[in-house]
Amino acid sequence: MGWADWMVVEQTLEEELQLEKTVREIKSCDDKQALMDLCVAMAQQNWHHAKMLRQAVNHIASIDAALMPGK
């Protein structure tokens, strides 16, 4: 396994089908307020996940650097 293989997202068939179901529900929604609320919630959640992911990757990088031979 390469050094970055852990970052490759692998999706099961069940996960892929669940995502497709969710996408279809969103596409078929005619309620403008519900779609606006969903967009706001997703933007907030995306920001939080991106921030957490950056922090996690930085933490992993600092651990890798500390474990490097000659350090």
Q: Is residue 4 part of a domain?
A: no
Q: Is residue 6 part of a domain?
A: no
Q: Is residue 22 part of a domain?
A: no
pTM above 0.85, yes or no: no
Q: Is residue 43 part of a domain?
A: yes
Structure confidence at residue 3 (pLDDT): 67
DSSP state of 53: H
Domain that holds residue 50: 31-71
Structure confidence at residue 71 (pLDDT): 60
Whole-angstrom distance, CA of residue 61 vs CA of residue 56: 9
- As averages over each run of 10 residues, the pLDDT of the chain (71 residues) reads 78 98 97 97 98 94 87 60
Structure confidence at residue 69 (pLDDT): 81
Number of compact structural domains in the chain: 1
Whole-angstrom distance, CA of residue 40 vs CA of residue 42: 5
